[in-house]
């Protein structure tokens, strides 16, 4: 067996670094295009032209136009989840009682029912639909979702250690449940019955009370 060239590893690292730069460049320009024209009128040629990237590079990294769109939306979702989770953790760490904890969750739920989050839900549902037909996209979405779920579970663990959440509650399951409440509001979004937002939040909060040691 021939010994590996000592230059192989640096070259591979350089190739990976260049690949990451190309992916970021495509995502950045695709996000601009999505915000401008939406997924239905997405102009892939314009993205390639502005990013000075070949169609071959696009297919290599994302597989298709839909793959690029989902990658963009997944990044938006990941960033949004990270930001929201960080804010929620800061709020919970500043709580001094079970009631404070409940109030923090209530504030987050009511914010989640607001207009700015409707597009986030649409992006997530659209990404899930695309991912059903692409194993790589499904893996990316799964990894993103698990990272968000784990972070939220670690945040809820803060409340559980303080005795505000019942000890027999599985915080990972609770994390999934809370995210399900957010995603489930897509039904209100679709039917455009915004007056049901308040009732939706009230029912969710009523359920949440059973998990808390008041």
Instruction: Flag the least confident range among 4-18, 158-172, 199-213.
Output: 4-18
Cβ atoms of 75 and 27 within 8 Å: the answer is yes
Sequence-separated contacts (24+) of 153-161 with Cβ below 8 Å: 154/89, 155/85, 155/88, 155/89, 155/92, 156/92, 158/89, 158/92, 158/93, 159/92, 159/95, 159/101
Which pLDDT belongs to residue 33?
93
Report the percentage of the chain scoring pLDDT > 70: 89
Which pLDDT belongs to residue 43?
96
Instruction: Select the more confidently predicted residue: 157 or 82.
Output: 157
Residue 212 dihedral angles phi and psi, to the nearest 5°: -105, 140
Which pLDDT belongs to residue 5?
55
pLDDT at 1 over 70: no
pLDDT at 211 over 70: yes
Average pLDDT in the chain: 85
- What is the secondary structure of 176-200 as a DSSP string? HHHHHHHHHTHHHHHHT-GGGHHHH
- For the CA atoms of the chain, what is the radius of gyration? 21
Q: How far is CA 135 from the centre of its chain?
A: 18
Confidence of residue 163 (pLDDT cuts 50, 70, 90): very high
Which pLDDT belongs to residue 9?
65
Across 159-168, average pLDDT: 94
Across 76-86, average pLDDT: 79
pLDDT at 6 over 80: no
Which pLDDT belongs to residue 59?
92
pLDDT at 87 over 60: yes
Query: Residue 161's CB: how many other CB atoms inside 10 A?
Result: 10
For residue range 101-126, list pLDDT tens digits in order.
999 999 988 887 766 677 778 777 87
Look up residue 142 and give its two tokens: 């799964």
Sequence-separated (6 or more) residues with CB below 8 Å from residue 146: none
Instruction: Select the more confidently predicted residue: 205 or 120.
Output: 205
Look up residue 173 and give its two tokens: 């399951």
Look up residue 212 and give its two tokens: 């808390």
């Amino acid at each position: 067996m021939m010994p590996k060239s000592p230059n192989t590893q640096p070259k591979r690292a350089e190739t990976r670094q260049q690949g990451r730069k190309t992916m970021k460049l495509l995502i950045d320009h695709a996000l601009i295009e999505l915000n401008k024209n939406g997924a239905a009128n997405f102009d892939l040629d314009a993205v390639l032209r502005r990013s000075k990237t070949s169609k071959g590079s696009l297919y290599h990294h994302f597989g298709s136009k839909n793959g690029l769109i989902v990658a963009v939306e997944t990044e938006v979702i990941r960033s949004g989840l990270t930001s929201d989770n960080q804010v929620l953790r800061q709020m919970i760490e500043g709580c001094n009682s079970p009631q404070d904890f409940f109030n923090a969750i209530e504030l987050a739920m009511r914010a989640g029912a607001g207009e700015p989050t409707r597009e986030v839900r649409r992006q997530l549902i659209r990404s899930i639909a695309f991912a059903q037909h692409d194993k790589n996209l499904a893996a990316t979405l799964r990894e993103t979702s698990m990272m968000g779920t784990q972070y939220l579970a670690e945040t809820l663990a803060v409340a559980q250690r303080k005795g505000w959440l019942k000890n027999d509650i599985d915080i990972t399951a609770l994390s999934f449940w809370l995210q399900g409440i957010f995603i489930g509001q897509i039904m209100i979004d679709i039917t455009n019955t915004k007056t049901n937002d308040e009732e939706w939040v009230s029912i969710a909060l009523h359920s949440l009370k059973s998990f808390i040691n008041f």
